[in-house]
A and B are shown apart, each in its own frame.
Chain A
């Protein structure tokens, strides 16, 4: 089994009106993921505005407020799945994307697992 990081790319700003319905769908996929034995980890993140970037290079400020990459979208939550290959991981990503209507970035962890 190989492990993949699924990042939910979420627009900044207030949650949409139908967030309750969306979360229900996400919970359903989470449950399916656990039932399939493919769940490794999942957690939602607080808004990107709550992030802090720390640097230790001389001359740089030791820390800055806000996310590392400026933009209108940031990672809103992550899921780690165990999958036999990329196709299987992409299928989980498709389900999360369908539940959230958001793009999901799929990135493999190092190692064959």
Chain B
């Protein structure tokens, strides 16, 4: 242990930060106090671990050291504020023996439901989840979302202020609210994943760090909510989409369509894990939107070649998805699948009634269908409309190549 790399400590920090802050928040009744105590503990680790080695139980060491730092801090402050006196009382009641896995799990769930409370803006929920559950630094979150660090710090400060001032409860929701609150958590994690998968702005198509953070959060949720099939469905969906990430772009960053991807380069371990989850979920027969979207991706993953894709099965799954989420976006994706079964004219008829004129993908899908119908002039107009509305450089470049090819043909 004499050669402990700084990266090992950094890794431990990120891995344990969320757990430690969750436990300390319950004990101290205040997120800011908890974060300060855990950061103090990490500061001590940075000095001590390179000398004494990494302790056998990293999680336990961090939580206990943070508690001791909190005690020190509260002794100094106890006379000044009631809040601190209260926390001090709770801290002295809390014995290390109570820190079993079950309680730590509950603390992490409490933290997740607090961060994903629907009374906060989605951007605040995302920032809080990445900071307090995933343990990313403010700087890392700011970089991932292309905002200045000061902006992200302000967003986090404001969100934590609302938790405190409005008294957003630190608890797992009651049975009656649980299903809808879990949905809210899943949409936060999926948003983080999608932000990583297709950066909605910026010059790169994906940000692998956000994708892998979302998968890490997905795994944590499966661990904490093992009986919810949609939680597993979301993890499977993210794994299957992630398995194709490296194949989605060329080395120069150009977008490669699913049908043109080198299927041998899909990441087998992620793909197999996703497929296995979906197979297990099918036998439970409690479908939901994430499971169905994962199943659609699993059908793609099953096909040895693009031509071998079971499109009728995909249309059937989209029919099922429409039942849960009858949105124009789902209808647009369903139309793409229908075009593969019944031809581009049938797809176009479904697309044209959707009126998603502000959405780049609507125009991109129309453009492709019109191209296949040899209606070149209309296809060119649709490509131009799509390019105008896409904020991603790689997507725009792809559409531009398609438009250019149309003119050459």
Q: Is B one of A's binding partners?
A: yes
Q: CB-CB < 8 A to B177: which residues of A? A: 87
Interface presence of A86 (CB below 8 A): yes
Q: CB-CB < 8 A to A86: which residues of B? A: 117, 119, 166-169
Contact, CB under 8 Å: A85 / B169:
yes
A-B interface pairs (CB < 8 A), number: 23
Interface presence of B286 (CB below 8 A): no
* Alpha-carbon distance between A112 and B164 when the two chains are bound, in angstroms: 10
* Alpha-carbon distance between A90 and B177 when the two chains are bound, in angstroms: 13
* Alpha-carbon distance between A84 and B174 when the two chains are bound, in angstroms: 14
Interface presence of A76 (CB below 8 A): no
Interface presence of A2 (CB below 8 A): yes
The contact string, 1 if C-beta is below 8 Å from chain B, for chain A 1-29, is 01000000000000000000000000000
Interface presence of B165 (CB below 8 A): yes
Q: CB-CB < 8 A to B167: which residues of A? A: 2, 85-86, 108, 112
The contact string, 1 if C-beta is below 8 Å from chain A, for chain B 152-170, is 0000000000000111110
* Alpha-carbon distance between A108 and B165 when the two chains are bound, in angstroms: 7
Kindly report which residue of chain B lies nearest to residue A87, judged by CB atoms. B169
Contact, CB under 8 Å: B119 / A90:
yes
Give the residues from 80 to 113 in chain A that come closer than 8 angstroms, CB to CB, to chain B. 84-87, 90, 106, 108, 110, 112
* Alpha-carbon distance between A86 and B173 when the two chains are bound, in angstroms: 12
Q: CB-CB < 8 A to B168: which residues of A? A: 85-87
* Alpha-carbon distance between A85 and B166 when the two chains are bound, in angstroms: 7
* Alpha-carbon distance between A86 and B167 when the two chains are bound, in angstroms: 5
Kindly report which residue of chain B lies nearest to residue A83, judged by CB atoms. B167
| Residue of B166, B167, B173 with most partner-chain A CB within 10 A | B167
Q: CB-CB < 8 A to A108: which residues of B? A: 165-167
Q: CB-CB < 8 A to A85: which residues of B? A: 167-169
* Alpha-carbon distance between A85 and B168 when the two chains are bound, in angstroms: 6
Shortest Cβ gap from A104 to chain B (Å): 12
* Alpha-carbon distance between A90 and B167 when the two chains are bound, in angstroms: 11
* Alpha-carbon distance between A112 and B166 when the two chains are bound, in angstroms: 9
The contact string, 1 if C-beta is below 8 Å from chain A, for chain B 167-195, is 11100010001000000000000000000
- Given A87-B169, A108-B167, A110-B165, 7 more A-B residue pairs with CB atoms under 8 Å apart are A2-B167, A85-B167, A85-B168, A86-B167, A90-B119, A108-B166, A112-B167
Interface residues in chain A, defined as those with a beta carbon under 8 Å from any beta carbon in chain B: 2, 84-87, 90, 106, 108, 110, 112
Interface residues in chain B, defined as those with a beta carbon under 8 Å from any beta carbon in chain A: 117, 119, 165-169, 173, 177
Sampled A-B contacts (23; CB under 8 Å): A2-B167, A84-B169, A85-B167, A85-B168, A85-B169, A86-B117, A86-B119, A86-B166, A86-B167, A86-B168, A86-B169, A87-B168, A87-B169, A87-B173, A87-B177, A90-B119, A106-B119, A106-B166, A108-B165, A108-B166, A108-B167, A110-B165, A112-B167
